[in-house]
Amino acid sequence: MNRVDNQSLDMQLFRFLFPTFAALLLSTLSGQARAEVVATFYSHDFGDHFPHAFITLKGKVDGTGEAVDTNFGFTAVSVSPAILMGSVKGMIETKDAKYVSKSNPHFSLRLSDAEYRKLLDHVERWRNMPGKSYSLNKRNCVHFVMEAAALLGLSVNRKSKFFKKPKSFVLEMMKINPTLRL
């Protein structure tokens, strides 16, 4: 081949490879810079500490760069025999790192900024429920987690037999949604 043919071949190769290389480089850089919040669904074995089902949120909000490291569960304000008799005052509770570390993480979801905001709205709705908002049979920590999962597009069993068994309920959700994992 002569010199002109080599230059032509080099130019064709460059035109072919450059866009591919540029796209690969941009996707790699954008993947590293992408912020995200991850929601992890937990259960805590029964005991005298509540809630037994809760969600952690960790990461960064893509749109604002806000760092997120918190958790939310729903429980009775005062745990007493009264919860066995009917509804009592409820509250959203955030637990310390020790409690979270002694709990069972089951699956995680990467949230868009819109999903993150929807989840925070869910937390605020439950936080601001008036009156006796906690009911062992109708509105407990498992119900809170179930509604959060449904809000994020997961299938849930609203007729589950596990509303008083947080770990079993979360495992049931994983069966219904087989792509879930940590």
Question: 119-155, pLDDT tens digit by residue?
Answer: 999 999 999 999 999 999 999 999 999 999 999 999 9
Residues 147-176 have a mean pLDDT of 96
Which tokens belong to 27?
A: 């996707």
Q: Give one DSSP letter per residue of 113-167, joined into a string.
A: HHHHHHHHHHHHHHHT--SS-BBTTTBSHHHHHHHHHHHTT----TT-S-TT-HH
User: For 33-44, what is each residue's pLDDT tens digit?
Assistant: 456 999 999 998
Confidence at 182, pLDDT banded by 50, 70, 90: confident
Statement: residue 47 has pLDDT above 70? no
Statement: residue 111 has pLDDT above 60? yes
Statement: residue 175 has pLDDT above 60? yes
Whether the link from the prior residue into 51 is cis, omega within 30° of 0, is yes
- The confidence score (pLDDT) of residue 53 equals 95
Confidence at 78, pLDDT banded by 50, 70, 90: confident
